Structure 1
Amino acid sequence: MAAPAIPPIRLGLIGTGLAVEKLHWPALRTLTDRFALTAFTDSSAEQGRRFAAYSGTDPARATADRAALLARDDVDAVLISVPIPHLYEVARDALAAGKDVFCEKPTGVDAEQAEDFLVLAAGHPDRTFMVGENYFYRDDLRYTRALLDSGAIGRPHLMAWRHAGQSVPRPGGFTSTPWRQRPQYRGGVHLDFGVHHIAQIRLLCGDVARVHGAVQTANSTIDGPSDLTLNLVFTGGAIGNYTASFPEIPVPPEPNDMRLYGTEGVLVLAGSDAERRVTRSSPDATTHTTVFRGIDNGYRAELADFADAVQFGLRPVGSVAQSVANAMVVQRALDSAEQAAALTLAPVPGAGAVPLWRPRGSTGLFDGLPGQRSSSTASFAA
């Protein structure tokens, strides 16, 4: 006899802004076997109406506020997508109400609140509490991690990554939100967006043992530093440099690629959201390039991981501890810049090396996931 079907998780949305519209809802609508949206709320009634319109959700599922939503018996779990300064308080209330929680990143406004997130998670061991980090689930990054784990480039010894791109308020974009232009959280764009880059670095290079950072302010449209350069020493012995610049003036096209140098090869990660490329170079000057198209950059996979944690008791990759570990690299980088000194990072309890996520029940990396992959071989020998 076939096992009975597991009913979908009854989900409530707290906040229905840009992150839900552009990132989470497109993923949720492909996971109707895992989630059933039963309620939503937004501090902006206009935004709530907009969500109901574009998602096709019955407007009657709107609630007056989060307290009303959290009091509902037909909500098992919540997806929290509110401005960064409010993430902690909303997550706290949701856990207290007995809900499982998928919370937007980062874990708090500063190092002290990151610690509060750890304490909050420890206080609710019976609940799934996950912080979104789609970079842990991106197909190209997981593929790269698998190559590294297999020894494809030998012992990694150097990471180099420069990311630069104009950042000015644009209607309909994330930079248009006032709370991002005048952030009430330490680090501004480097905590909000840059924490994704730190997640990528930790996924591929391991935990960071020491940082030496410097910052500059060169963008009048946002408060806080626009530039960050960071020298890194990893616990595995490799070293690296990460530089991120978000100026207000247009900049020439930048490669924005990440390079990982090993004793037996080099990996280069490049491309856009629409087409990501991973190129492995061998000592004989042969290059093997895998191109990823049509992937959703991990949003569907992270929600599937959350559902697996709620329904099957699996430990999610995107744990609170892993998110805190990402955020603490940013916070210690800012400390380093202020003190003009190299600083160590204490291990985050419960974090450690980021696990490599695979679809549940699969030994492959891409089973059941959207997107296409193609490979080619070339040579850069003279």
Structure 2
Amino acid sequence: MTSVLAGVQVVAVADVDLEIAGSVAGPLGASVHKSGEALIADSSVDAVVVCSWGPTHEQYVLAAIAAGKPVFCEKPLATTQEACLRILEAEVAHGSRLVQVGYMRRYDASYRALKAVLRSGELGAPLMMHCAHRNASVPGFYEKEMAITDTAVHEIDMVRWMFGEEITAVRVLRPRRSANGGDLQDPLLLLFEMENGALVDVETSVNIRYGYDIRGEIVGENGTAALGSLSPVQVRVAGRTSDPVPTDWRERFLTAYDVEFQEWIDSLRTAGRPIGPSAWDGYAAAVVSDAGVAALRSGERVPVSLTDRPKLYAPEVPA
């Protein structure tokens, strides 16, 4: 962060493995803390980044809110919607936004360009969106429900942001199972119903072997718009044309992560608070994910039921 981003300095590090924490902190001249709570309480820390494993997110985000310090939390905001609600309640009681959640699709140049076309009105009203989230492979601890809670959750947040409205119901279809997926039900096809009646389908294929491939196309009344080419270069050789496919998420989205952090830093310096994905966005994604898991288990259409949206999270600009 110190070498890539401007306007910020890493002053403290905490990790369950103190040796790893020390190896990171040493070259930066940062202090090492034995716990996240101790780091948050450090008077030299102005803002906090939480990138520990999911079940610890709630305790660290709540500690940061209690300390009145801005906190960037990698997704998920918390592992249950009940925990997300506790974070909402704490932030609302604080009275101003402190939390930003790491949904980095919003910071990708291709997705931003796609949203700009949609907002221009050139396509007319959006009717459908087709998405694909494909991984070459996933690790052995990956479980079937993670296709929704860990993979498709990126599309869950992205389509809410893209359309500027909530998802109201979810269905999950099970195509013929790929032999590459082992015991996983892979691929899956998710169908989201949006507030205005638009439909969004999301294909998750997490053992498709050929590479990391993220796709998105909006179908409007007057035309369509899609994410651009997977690669900035097209190769023609030996009688064939090829577009290299990214090998993993880092190759495809690394720049978006840098933009996300820089804009978070800039918002704290200029506005005094985060303006990116909010605790409400983290909560809504958790509720939709839970509905998706229920739909996967039951095979039925599952409605999405959100609590009333607090005024603190009212949109600040047209979506």
TM range (shorter): 0.7 to 0.9
8 Å CA contact retained: 1:211, 1:343: yes
Match of 2:6 in 1: 32
- 1:216-365 map, 5 Å: 226-247=186-207, 251-252=209-210, 256-272=214-230, 275=232, 296-311=254-269, 312-313=271-272, 316-347=275-306, 349-350=309-310
Provide the identity percentage: 23
The Cα shift of 1:82 comes to 0.3
2:4 maps to a residue whose letter is T
Deviation at 1:49, TM superposition (A): 3.6
Decide whether the 8 Å contact of 1:317 with 1:355 is kept in 2.
no
Rounded Cα–Cα distance in structure 2 between residues aligned with 1:325 and 1:127: 16
Measured in 2, the distance between the counterparts of 1:89 and 1:298 equals 27
Partners in 1 of 2:217 and 2:83 — Cα distance? 33
Local SS of the residue matching 1:62: strand
Task: Tell me if structure 2 keeps the 8 A contact 1:135–1:298.
Answer: yes
- Distance apart, 1:241 and its partner CA: 1.3
Pair 1:226–1:117, CA change in 2 (3 A): farther
Name the CA shift for 1:227/1:46 in 2 (closer, same or farther; >3 Å). Answer: farther
Please name the residue that 1:92 is paired with: 62
SS at structure 2 position matched to 1:196: helix
With over 3 angstroms needed to count, the CA separation of the structure-2 counterparts of 1:108 and 1:315, relative to structure 1, is closer
TM-aligned CA deviation for residue 48 of structure 1: 1.7
Q: CA deviation at 1:37?
A: 1.5
Relative contact order, higher structure (CA 8 A, sep 6+): 2
Aligned residues: 297
How many Å separate the matches in 1 of 2:48 and 2:212?
38
Task: Tell me the CA shift for residue 225 of structure 1.
Answer: 5.8
Structure 2: which 5+ residue stretches go unaligned? 234-250
Residue deviations 1:229-257, cap 9 Å, x none?
Answer: 2112211221121121223xx54568642
Change (3 A) 1:57 1:222: farther
| Amino acid corresponding to residue 29 of structure 1 in structure 2 | S
> Any stretches of 5+ residues in structure 1 without a counterpart?
1-24, 170-174, 176-180, 277-292, 358-382
> In structure 2, what is the equivalent of residue 43 of structure 1?
16
- Deviations 1:66-115, CA, capped at 9 Å, x for gaps: 23322321111111110011111111122223322111111221232232
Q: Secondary structure at the match of 1:298?
A: helix
CA–CA distance in structure 2, aligned partners of residues 275 and 96 of structure 1:
45
Measured in 1, the distance between the counterparts of 2:127 and 2:93 equals 39
Of 119, 123, 131, which aligns to 1:161? 131
| 1:221–1:44 Cα change, 3 Å | farther
More helix by share: 2
Cα drift, residue 258 of structure 1: 1.6
